[in-house]
């Protein structure tokens, strides 16, 4: 039997989220400005609402049940939507906000974009949070179409009328090889490229990686694949410890070259620059918090107009 929504105290959901975050009733109470008995009573009501224990007590705190793990993401999405709706057309002050922004950036974005993004957010006194999702997952794409995910990144602008987009970054493809490679030293011919063994970032979840989609669309470039992997972060270590090479966006290659003994070489094929698009739901256009995060994202990517002030204290 479905519960009557009118009989559910939606305040209980914020308490459920706080217990999941802190793992302790006392810590959840402190976070919410409540007493511990009040949080304990709320948990009892939550257990009745969901017909599940939700948490077990242990020496290390409250351990979530499988049902809690199923509930937490939908509940957090709902709370985020409610918070965004309440903020609506009002001013957004990042110095006093605890809003969570959900971004489908994957490990590419977590490696290259997220450090720059966090550096900007850290200038503010608020408790703004980032939740990262995999890119190019059908579930992530559906979430942004439903307005449940703030931003999505793709190599094509969306055709769906519900979505808006802007150009986010442009980059070129390069090849990386270890510095002391026996056959590749400072330059790379097409013959050497074809002869080499390649590390390929290929299938991820429901399809090819963003990089592979770009390569395949530009023009099929033959490569001898020795291994197909699932994460960008694994590429530099594999390249620096073998005679294999890999094709990557230049920005990521430069990031890896700061930490690994690798050389960056031009791709010996003529390809167009790659473009990444920032995508969001049309319904978020008037949301001041959403506008602020979009501006911070563009600044972090280095695509913001130079005349704009870096890190405005609030969006009016």
Across 202-218, average pLDDT:
56
Question: What's the pLDDT score for residue 215?
Answer: 64
Residue 260 and residue 237 in contact, taking contact as beta carbons nearer than 8 Å: yes
Say what the pLDDT of residue 217 is.
60
Q: Say yes or no: 199 and 263 in one domain.
A: yes
181 secondary structure, DSSP code: -
- Interval 98-108 mean pLDDT: 86
Whether the Cβ atoms of residue 145 and residue 284 lie closer than 8 Å to each other = no
- Please check whether residue 201 lies inside any domain of the structure: yes
- Residue-level pLDDT at 219: 58
Residue 276 banded pLDDT, cuts 50, 70, 90:
confident
Task: Say if residue 154 is in the same domain as residue 292.
Answer: yes
Q: Let me know whether 110 and 191 are in one domain.
A: no
Domain count, the chain: 3
How far, in Å, CA of 161 to CA of 159, rounded? 6
8 Å CB contact between 151 and 276: no
- Examine residue 314 and state whether it is found in any structural domain, yes or no: no
Domain that holds residue 245: 173-272
* Entry pTM: 0.63
Query: Which residues are bridge partners to 172 per DSSP?
Result: none
The answer to which of 4-8, 178-182, 285-289 has the lowest mean pLDDT is 4-8
pLDDT at 204 over 70: no
Name the pLDDT band for 211 (thresholds 50, 70, 90).
low
Q: What percentage of residues in the chain have a pLDDT greater than 70?
A: 84
Is 156 in the same domain as 295? yes
Q: Tell me whether residue 287 is in a domain.
A: yes
| pLDDT for residue 279 | 93
Residue 315 lies in a domain: no
Same domain, yes or no, for 287 and 258?
A: no
Average pLDDT over the chain, rounded to whole? 83
Contact 168, 301 (CB under 8 A): yes
Residue 123 pLDDT grade (very low, low, confident, very high; cuts 50, 70, 90): very high
Region class of 231: left (phi > 0), else alpha (psi between -120 and 50), else beta: beta
Q: Which of 55, 76, 97 is the last residue of a domain?
A: 76
Cβ neighbours of residue 83 closer than 8 Å, sequence gap 6 or more: 99
Q: Which residues pair with 169 in a beta bridge?
A: 276
Same domain, 93 and 132: yes
Strand residues in the chain grouped as ranges (E) = 55-58, 61-64, 100-104, 129-133, 151-154, 163-171, 173-178, 197-201, 203-204, 207-208, 224-229, 246-249, 262-266, 274-281
pLDDT over 60 (residue 29): yes
- Residue 155, in any domain of the structure: yes
Whether 316 maps to a domain, the answer reads: no
Mean pLDDT over residues 155-168, rounded?
89
94 and 149 assigned to the same domain: yes
Residue 126 contacts by C-beta under 8 Å, 6 or more apart in sequence?
A: 93, 94, 95, 96, 97, 98
Higher pLDDT, 211 or 151: 151
96 and 221, same domain (yes or no): no
Residue 177 has pLDDT above 50, yes or no: yes
- The last residue of one of the domains, among 49, 76, 103, is 76
The least confident of 76-90, 144-158, 272-286, 296-310 is 296-310
Query: Are both 13 and 54 inside the same structural domain?
Result: yes
Q: Are residues 261 and 141 in the same domain?
A: no
CATH number of the structural domain spanning residue 120: 3.40.190.10
- Count of alpha carbons within 13 angstroms of residue 296, beta-carbon side: 28
Q: What is the CATH number of the domain that holds 12?
A: 1.10.10.10
CA neighbours within 13 Å on the CB side: how many for 252?
A: 27
Same domain, residue pair 179 and 193: yes
pLDDT at 312: 41
pLDDT at residue 139, rounded to an integer: 74
Region for residue 136 given its phi and psi (left: phi exceeds 0; alpha: psi -120 to 50; beta: otherwise): left
**Domain check: are 199 and 132 in the same one?**
no
pLDDT average, residue stretch 163-190: 92
């Amino acid at each position: 039997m479905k519960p009557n929504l009118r009989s559910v105290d939606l305040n209980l959901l914020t308490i459920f989220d706080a217990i999941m975050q802190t793992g302790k009733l006392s810590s959840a109470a402190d976070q919410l400005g409540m007493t511990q008995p009040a949080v304990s009573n709320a948990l009892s009501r939550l257990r009745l609402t969901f017909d599940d224990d939700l948490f077990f007590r242990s020496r290390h705190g409250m351990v979530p049940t499988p049902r809690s793990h199923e509930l937490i993401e939908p509940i957090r999405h709902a709370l985020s939507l409610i918070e965004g709706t309440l903020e609506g057309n009002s001013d957004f002050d990042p110095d006093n906000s605890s809003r969570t922004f959900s971004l489908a950036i994957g490990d590419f974005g977590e490696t290259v974009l997220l450090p720059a993004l966090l550096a900007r957010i850290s200038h503010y006194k608020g408790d703004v949070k980032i939740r990262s999702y995999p890119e190019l997952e059908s579930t992530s794409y559906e979430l942004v179409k439903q307005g449940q995910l703030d931003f999505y990144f793709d190599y094509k602008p969306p055709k769906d009328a519900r979505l808006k987009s802007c150009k986010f970054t442009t980059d070129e493809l390069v090849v990386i090889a270890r510095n002391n490679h026996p056959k590749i030293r400072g330059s790379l011919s097409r013959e050497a490229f074809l002869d080499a063994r390649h590390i390929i970032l290929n299938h991820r979840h429901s399809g090819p990686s963003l990089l592979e989609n770009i390569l395949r669309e530009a023009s099929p470039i033959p490569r001898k694949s020795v291994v197909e992997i699932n994460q960008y972060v694994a590429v530099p270590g594999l390249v620096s410890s073998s005679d294999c090479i890999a094709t990557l966006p230049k920005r990521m290659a430069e990031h890896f070259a700061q930490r690994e003994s690798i050389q960056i070489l031009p791709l010996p094929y003529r390809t167009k620059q790659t473009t990444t698009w920032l995508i969001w739901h049309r319904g978020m256009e008037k949301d001041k918090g959403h506008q602020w995060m979009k501006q911070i994202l563009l600044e972090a990517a280095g695509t913001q107009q130079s005349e704009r002030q870096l890190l405005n204290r609030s969006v009016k």
